[in-house]
Structure 1
């Protein structure tokens, strides 16, 4: 009986060990579940769903060429999957299903229910370089600080040279096409992001060859395209971290032994991604949106829907915050430095619960990823693991002056400030009064007063 392969957020056939193992054991059938209701429950952004559907459609066509049939099954949510999967296995005279493990609590429960239904589920850790519980303290516990986790992670892999296993199949269907089902028709919102392997490989190689050495110096400047642009592809598993490390080692073979190199700064971000995944595995209550650091349960968050909506719409009166939020609304993506600034503003300046910001990000980000999003928001709110101290409160004006000194990024997304000179653009209100310009929003809070209020709130 040949096994079946189940695609999840691992939408690649190249560099997918679980899929290759299934094929080598005779798999000819693969499947993907469209779970619209579940995606809504998880606040998955419409732009990410569109990207996912486009990629699944592309994947179905690509696999068809190699004689693998990708079956698309519509279900409402995860609770429907065990029986739907069992029926599919019976129809294809199979009991074994190969898949890559997902670590969030709902996904783990879904897999347990599939096993309870009698499905022989073989799971791989294709989303991680370091498998769960393989990077721990001497006592076997999960690290609660990033730096020692990183050191242990590097020690484990410093002599590893990653490679991409060869694809085991030859092209068999050069003619004909795979029929795209109606449920994979999206809204077209992600069209600016290519979904074919050749384009994604080009993006990765261009960054590694031409930009990685400058990443450390320009990654915080939002007006410069200094980041990799790979986060949406990592979020949906179109590429894997192992695959990227293998490409990186082609140009920098000793990169894992030399963390002082500027190129290592990007590796550091990939290790942060691993850290946040290991956290939700070790502390599954994080998936319930609980504070990692329970002492901050005593913080009294403000419930101000008017100010929250102003933050969402980019109308806070702080130009760098507003430009960042409008970038998110318009493009479905936000520069990482700006994610920290706007998260700090919501949780410290407005003293609004980080969970509302976490949810809003997931509802709009094309690269929405629960572990990283939750980790980032709890870091900014000082409630998380190895988070910034509660008394570290970003000043949005000085952040703007430092990372967008001429206001180029601000003017792109806040056009009503297009004529404001660089000298005034970071907090333009006095200047706008002299010009009788009332188009731009008044500041929701005074920075100094908001800072004092946040310090008092967090001192509990």
Structure 2
């Protein structure tokens, strides 16, 4: 039976800095055996994971672009349309009937994905093939950064300190784009061809070189001011790379390597723009380390187990108002409308809206977590779950429960001129000064919504319900 090597792409949709692809190309070159790339769309499973339609579209567009980019390397990419993870196994069952497979793949951390991969590994091994896995989602793989006692860090600051020590010791390695293989004609079983998406992500480039250029430009031109600009949603001060990190068009190693080149030593300077952006990349890894160490988080369990006893109000009308940006709190409404319209939300606004849902409306953080995943083009389970549990004071290294954002003062501080609010809440576009942050002080604006809650009263209730569970614990 002929040997066939397969690069199974999932959330590592790139040709540059891809250890999986690099190893598969090296293996094929050494053995003279053909290599194909494989991607299997599983929309039913994506839906079960609350994956946003705009993210699904971005993935489909990126896969078709990757197919073009790999063709230059004489690597055919087979993009298959499946339904769910069960059909993934069926694809490999068909392949092992014709070939002895060596499958190269990047490890995924979520439970259903691990079960899927275990099934595929069994199919391959039972047929005499190989399942070759690489743990390359993070620069420092989960479990590699530990306390002196060998435990997983539950607090970010010491995790970051030891992560940086490992970075200085080992550095980062970025793999070049592989050289073209010799043309090798193969005949594969017929599969349903992957369908195109709805083009909802059209504003986001899927060309790998263009995305790398965006990352390089950010490190050259914007990262120096990141520490001062990143909290202001009306300013174009963030990298806008999160969607590409989420599906693997770029890698965290590429980001760190480019940052070190462009920022020189400033990435080691406390509170510099480069150091703060690096911290954001480390937060991303921290949450993945936590996810692997505590798999119950994947089942939407709180890290602080006693907080599962909180009696949330879960008012569906209030939740609907929050989702639709109709709460009567301008910064909250503008942020939610940005999410609904564009599939993306500024990070400062994610904290404000999450705090508002949990600590003003007293709605279970899991409702918000799922809603964000259903809308975000950069939806990433570990980061989204970690962020929501931080805001809800239920997670590891979470904000203290008595830290409750005042949405009006947050608005005044981070959108002082109301530019962002005017962009997404046109009903308030004519208001000037502080009135735009709280139009109700003028008796309200007829075309705008009345506030759904009194912040001071809600804050008091939040302190009471958290104190109750802390006392019982």
How would you bin the TM-score normalised by the shorter chain? over 0.9
Q: Is the 8 A contact 1:47 1:189 kept in 2?
A: yes
Alignment match, 1:94: 100
Measured after TM superposition, the shift of residue 219 of structure 1 is 0.2
Residue-by-residue CA offset, 1:162-183 (whole Å, 9 max, x unaligned): 343222313889xxxxxx9863
- 2:447 aligned to 418, 421, 439, which one? 439
Alignment match, 2:187: none
Measured after TM superposition, the shift of residue 259 of structure 1 is 4.0
Q: Is the 8 A contact 2:8 2:37 kept in 1?
A: yes
1:288 is aligned to 2:290: no
1: CA distance, partners of 2:41 / 2:304:
35
1:313 is aligned to 2:324: yes
1:384 is aligned to 2:395: yes
Measured after TM superposition, the shift of residue 83 of structure 1 is 3.0
1:395 is aligned to 2:402: no
Measured after TM superposition, the shift of residue 411 of structure 1 is 0.5
Measured after TM superposition, the shift of residue 103 of structure 1 is 0.4
Alignment match, 1:167: 177
- 2:124 aligned to 115, 118, 122, which one? 118
Alpha-carbon spacing, 1:443–1:386, altered in 2? closer, same or farther (3 Å): same
Alignment match, 2:417: 406
- 2:149 aligned to 133, 139, 152, which one? 139
SS at 1:99 equivalent: strand
Measured after TM superposition, the shift of residue 432 of structure 1 is 4.5
2: CA distance, partners of 1:2 / 1:79:
22
1: CA distance, partners of 2:215 / 2:377:
18
SS at 1:97 equivalent: strand
Query: Under a length normalisation based on structure 1, what TM-score does the superposition of the two structures give?
Result: 0.95
SS at 1:118 equivalent: helix
Q: Is the 8 A contact 2:67 2:77 kept in 1?
A: yes
2: CA distance, partners of 1:181 / 1:416:
48
Measured after TM superposition, the shift of residue 87 of structure 1 is 1.9
1: CA distance, partners of 2:59 / 2:273:
33
Q: Is the 8 A contact 2:332 2:349 kept in 1?
A: yes
1:32 is aligned to 2:39: yes
Alignment match, 2:31: none
More divergent stretch after superposition (423-432 vs 361-370): 423-432
2: CA distance, partners of 1:64 / 1:48:
24
2: CA distance, partners of 1:206 / 1:41:
36
2: CA distance, partners of 1:162 / 1:389:
34
SS at 2:450 equivalent: coil
Alignment match, 2:310: 299
SS at 1:270 equivalent: helix
Pairs within 5 Å for 1:296-375: 296-375=307-386
1: CA distance, partners of 2:145 / 2:324:
41
Q: Is the 8 A contact 2:96 2:124 kept in 1?
A: no
Alignment match, 2:227: 216
Alpha-carbon spacing, 1:447–1:215, altered in 2? closer, same or farther (3 Å): same
Alignment match, 1:14: 16
Residue-by-residue CA offset, 1:378-433 (whole Å, 9 max, x unaligned): 00000000000001000000000000011000010000001111221111013254
More divergent stretch after superposition (351-360 vs 135-144): 135-144
SS at 2:434 equivalent: coil
- 2:67 aligned to 60, 67, 74, which one? 60
Alpha-carbon spacing, 1:380–1:63, altered in 2? closer, same or farther (3 Å): same
Query: Under a length normalisation based on structure 2, what TM-score does the superposition of the two structures give?
Result: 0.92
Q: Is the 8 A contact 1:161 1:249 kept in 2?
A: no
SS at 1:228 equivalent: coil
1: CA distance, partners of 2:234 / 2:272:
24
SS at 2:350 equivalent: helix
Alignment match, 1:419: 430
Q: Is the 8 A contact 1:65 1:172 kept in 2?
A: no
1: CA distance, partners of 2:215 / 2:124:
41
1: CA distance, partners of 2:258 / 2:173:
8
Q: Is the 8 A contact 1:2 1:25 kept in 2?
A: no
Measured after TM superposition, the shift of residue 161 of structure 1 is 3.8
Residue-by-residue CA offset, 1:253-279 (whole Å, 9 max, x unaligned): 435644453311000000000000001
Alignment match, 1:76: 83
1:4 is aligned to 2:12: no
2: CA distance, partners of 1:265 / 1:57:
34
Q: Is the 8 A contact 2:369 2:385 kept in 1?
A: yes
Alignment match, 1:273: 284
SS at 1:334 equivalent: coil
SS at 1:192 equivalent: coil
Measured after TM superposition, the shift of residue 160 of structure 1 is 3.9
2: CA distance, partners of 1:33 / 1:15:
21
Q: Which runs of 5+ in 1 are unaligned?
A: 174-179
Q: Is the 8 A contact 1:65 1:171 kept in 2?
A: no
- 1:158 aligned to 164, 168, 177, which one? 168
Measured after TM superposition, the shift of residue 118 of structure 1 is 3.4
Measured after TM superposition, the shift of residue 334 of structure 1 is 0.2
Q: Any runs of at least 4 consecutive aligned residues in structure 1 with deviations exceeding 6 A, and if so which?
A: none
Measured after TM superposition, the shift of residue 143 of structure 1 is 0.6
Q: Is the 8 A contact 1:66 1:171 kept in 2?
A: yes
Residue-by-residue CA offset, 1:241-264 (whole Å, 9 max, x unaligned): 001111111123435644453311
Q: Which runs of 5+ in 2 are unaligned?
A: 29-33, 184-190, 469-473
